[in-house]
Amino acid sequence: MSGHNKWSTIKHKKAAQDAKRGQLFTRLAREIVIAAREGGGDPEANFSLRLAIDKARAANMPKENIERSIKRGTGELKGEELVEVVYEGYAPHGVAVLVQVLTDNKNRTVSEVRRVFTRQGGAMADAGAVAWQFERKGYIAIAPDGVDQDTIFELAVEAGAEDVVFSNDMIEIFAEVANFQAVRQALENSGIQVETAELSMIPKTTLQLGEKETTQVMGVIEALEELDDTQQVYSNLYISDEILAKYEAAS
């Protein structure tokens, strides 16, 4: 399961600190709007909204921005009419890709997504052609510094996690959606600092390529992530710690 989620977590953390802060805030605000529109404006009763708010706070998004986004979602304030769409495709070397977007213009967005795929040697796919290779799971990431791995493992598994993956840069925890909140709460109640907690599309199996091919596909994924309407990109590419370190050093 490990790989692209860890890479996205690291990149999103970095993005919150650089010149893309404005773009990041826009994406987080849109996520809050959709969550509030679909489940109401009370984060205690709307789990998706609570997750979106937590992500916004972790990125130091101002409180007034968060509150304004909630009101837009509930209809108290007027805002852009957004729809959520998931596009499917293949990057080079047969890597499966899902692109989750929030857009006010589907024609514009699909053209931008298609252009990235075709320019990078990939192709868009019909609905359902790629999605079956992924499962919706709860995903939690924890920085490994200063934490006891055995404690993390025991807390997560006892609370209902189905997998815990340890690597140099990140501890990744995966859980069924129904158990996700319990796992997260158990960790936080024990004083564990959670870097990322979200519902994610996790590949059922991963595809491991050579270093050159992996780096090429990571470039495609990054190009898709940089589109204005993109919220998240998921793939079944396996990315080793070594390749990740080299890619980030070169970026």
**Residue 58: CATH number of its domain:** 1.10.10.200
Asked if residue 33 is part of any domain, the answer here is yes
In eight-state DSSP terms, residue 145 is T
Rounded to a whole number, what is the largest CA-CA distance in the chain? 51
List, for residues 86-116, the tens digit of each pLDDT value. Answer: 999 999 999 999 999 989 899 999 999 999 9
Q: State which residues form the domain around 63.
A: 4-74
Asked if residue 13 is part of any domain, the answer here is yes
User: Which among 67, 69, 60, 65 has a CA at the least distance from the CA of 13?
Assistant: 60
Question: Above 70 in pLDDT, residue 21?
Answer: no
Which residues, including other chains, have CB under 8 Å from residue 115's CB and lie 6 or more apart? none
Asked if residue 35 is part of any domain, the answer here is yes
Q: Which residues pair with 174 in a beta bridge?
A: 139, 163
List, for residues 79-90, the tens digit of each pLDDT value. Answer: 778 888 999 999
Number of domains in the chain: 1
Asked if residue 115 is part of any domain, the answer here is no
List, for residues 190-207, the tens digit of each pLDDT value. Answer: 999 888 888 889 999 999
Asked if residue 146 is part of any domain, the answer here is no
Q: What whole-number percentage of the chain has pLDDT above 90? A: 51
Q: Which residues pair with 175 in a beta bridge?
A: 138, 161
Confidence of residue 11 (pLDDT cuts 50, 70, 90): low
Asked if residue 65 is part of any domain, the answer here is yes
Q: How many residues does the chain have?
A: 251
User: Which among 78, 79, 71 has a CA at the least distance from the CA of 104?
Assistant: 79
Which two three-digit tokens encode residue 78? 């007027």
List, for residues 152-161, the tens digit of each pLDDT value. Answer: 999 999 999 9
Cα separation, 101 vs 87, whole angstroms: 8
CA 175 to centroid of chain Cα atoms: 15
Asked if residue 14 is part of any domain, the answer here is yes
pTM: 0.80
Strands (E), the chain: 83-91, 95-103, 123-125, 134-142, 161-166, 171-175, 196-203, 230-235
Confidence of residue 6 (pLDDT cuts 50, 70, 90): low
Block residue for tokens 């709860």? 138
* Helix residue ranges per DSSP H, 44-159: 47-58, 63-74, 106-119, 149-159
Question: So what's the pLDDT on residue 241?
Answer: 77
Asked if residue 85 is part of any domain, the answer here is no
